[in-house]
Amino acid sequence: MSLAERRILLSAAVEQSAGRVPVLAGVSDLLESNVLAMCEAAEATGCAGILALPPIYAMPSPRETHAFYRRLASATRLPIMLYNSPRRTGVDLLPEHVEALLELPSVVSIKDSSGNIVQVSQLVQRVGGELAVFVGYETMIRPALAVGAVGVVAMAHQLSGRLVRGYFDACREGDGDTIARLEPALFAI
């Protein structure tokens, strides 16, 4: 999608949500200038925050990744949700790297799509008191909640929102019967 199309999509999402839920703008792109333009578009369209991967394709070092997020934080007034998706970017935001990013007041949460429950647990232990930790896979809801994550930001809800919400609520409440009933359907998506 072009930047103009992405901006139209953000505007439509904010309009349709009508304040019922916060809209986070996915601002990631191959070009940093486009990431910064998307941050501006997110602010202009009324998004509640941004979701940002480390630089895509470049596979930056931890120092370079930190500098990138520092530039991002200085370019927007919106809260930032870090996005760790090592399979997609080749960069793993390890718990110690995320902890170093706490120096940026606008970094308020992280979506961890590492698929590694040990890493999620370490992340919660290191930064859970200061950042909201979310996982990126519905299949990790139960173990992630058990180690202190607060939620999931994933994709299956677009296909079956009620199923994902019911499963999440059952996991949060420890409702084993509902978990057992819903889990096979959720994991089949």
Q: Exactly one of 69, 111, 137, 167 is catalytic; which is it?
A: 111
Which residues make Cβ contacts (< 8 Å) with residue 56, sequence separation at least 6?
28, 29, 30, 88, 89
Q: What amino acid occupies position 11?
A: S
For residue 105, give both structure tokens.
């007041």
Parallel, antiparallel or unpaired: strands 107-112 and 49-52: unpaired
111 among known catalytic residues: yes
What backbone torsions phi and psi does residue 46 show, to the nearest 5 degrees?
A: 90, 20
Continuous segment of H or E residues that includes residue 132? strand 132-135
83 among known catalytic residues: yes
For residue 58, give both structure tokens.
């470049």
**Which string of DSSP letters, residue by residue, matches 5-63?**
HHHHHHHHHHHHHTTSS--EEE---SSHHHHHHHHHHHHHHT-SEEEEPSPTTT---HH
Q: Exactly one of 69, 83, 137, 167 is catalytic; which is it?
A: 83
For residue 20, give both structure tokens.
């019922």
Residues annotated as part of the active site: 83, 111
